Amino acid sequence: MDQVWADLVFLHWRVEPERVQRWMPPGARPDVHDGSSWVGLIGFEMRRAGFGLGHPLPYLGDFAEINVRLYSTDDQGRRGVVFRSLETERLALVAATNPVGVRYRWSRIRMERWAEATGRIRYASRRRTPPGRGASTDLAVRPTDELVHDDLSVFLTARFGMHHRVGSRPLWVPNTHPAWPLRRAELLHCDDGLVAAAGLPGVTDRPPESVLWSPGVRTQFGAPQR
C-alpha cells in the first residue's frame, strides 16, 4: 500500500514498560528509550492511499486520522508500533479492517489549519460507535522553526513496521519511508480521552514530554510476514 502522511502532530508521554506489556503481540515486547516506554497520540492527514504504487483509492484514500500507538521491538531487532486505536470518518475502512484486528473506529474528525506551515494546527474527534463510544480528543499545536533530530525524536518516529496479530497468529507488517522532517511544536491545548479509552487512564492528565510536527512523508507498507 502506497500512502502520503501529511501535517502530522506527534504528542508523546512516558509510561512504564510493564504497563503496556499486555498489549504486545506474541514475540514482541515494549521498546524502551531513556528507561521508559512511550505512548503516542498522533493526528495527521492520510492522502492518496491505495494498493500498489501510484494507484490512490477515490474517497477512501483521503481522510484525517488520529491514532493511539505504543512502541515495540522483537528478537530480530525490528522496531515497530502497536496500534491501540485509529480514528477515521470512513466507515467502510472500519468494516474492512476490524475483522483482521486493525482497530479503526468510526468517528467525527475535524482538522483545522489557521495559517501556512508555521501556523496553528488542530485535530479533534468524537467516536460515534462502541467500543468507547463518545471517546474524544481535541489537540492543537503551533509548529516552531526549530528543526529536531535527536535520539528521542528518531526513536518515536523512525519505526519501520507494525507488530500485529490476527487471532493467535503474530505478524510483522513492514513499512518504508524517508527520514522525517521534524520541528519542535508548542502545545496550545490537549483535552484527550482516546488514550484512556485505549486502556491507559491518567496518562494524558499531564503535559506530554514530546511535542513534534512534520509536514509529512510518503510511505509504503509491504506484505505481512509471520
Give the domain CATH number at 164. Answer: 2.40.400
Q: Let me know if residue 17 belongs to a domain.
A: yes
Host domain of residue 84? 2-211
Q: In the predicted model, is pLDDT for residue 57 greater than 90?
A: no
The predicted-structure confidence for 81-119, as pLDDT tens digits, reads as follows: 999 999 999 888 788 778 888 889 999 999 998 766 558
Per-residue pLDDT averaged across 67-82, rounded? 96
Distances (CA, A) of 89 to 11, 46, 65, 101: 21, 12, 8, 18
Q: Let me know if residue 109 belongs to a domain.
A: yes
Residue for grid cell 505504543:
70
What end-to-end distance do the CA atoms of the chain give, in Å? 18
Q: Let me know if residue 25 belongs to a domain.
A: yes
Cell of 157: 518516529
Q: In the predicted model, is pLDDT for residue 30 greater than 80?
A: yes
Q: Let me know if residue 220 belongs to a domain.
A: no
For the chain, the domain total comes to 1
pTM for the whole structure: 0.92
Residue for grid cell 522496531:
79
Distance, CA of 187 to CA of 170 (rounded, Å): 36
Question: What's residue 225's pLDDT?
Answer: 87
Question: What's residue 68's pLDDT?
Answer: 98
The predicted-structure confidence for 160-192, as pLDDT tens digits, reads as follows: 999 999 888 899 999 999 889 999 999 999 999
Distance, CA of 110 to CA of 120 (rounded, Å): 14
Q: Which residues contact 151 (CB under 8 A, 6 or more apart)?
A: 33
Q: Let me know if residue 115 belongs to a domain.
A: yes
Q: Let me know if residue 222 belongs to a domain.
A: no
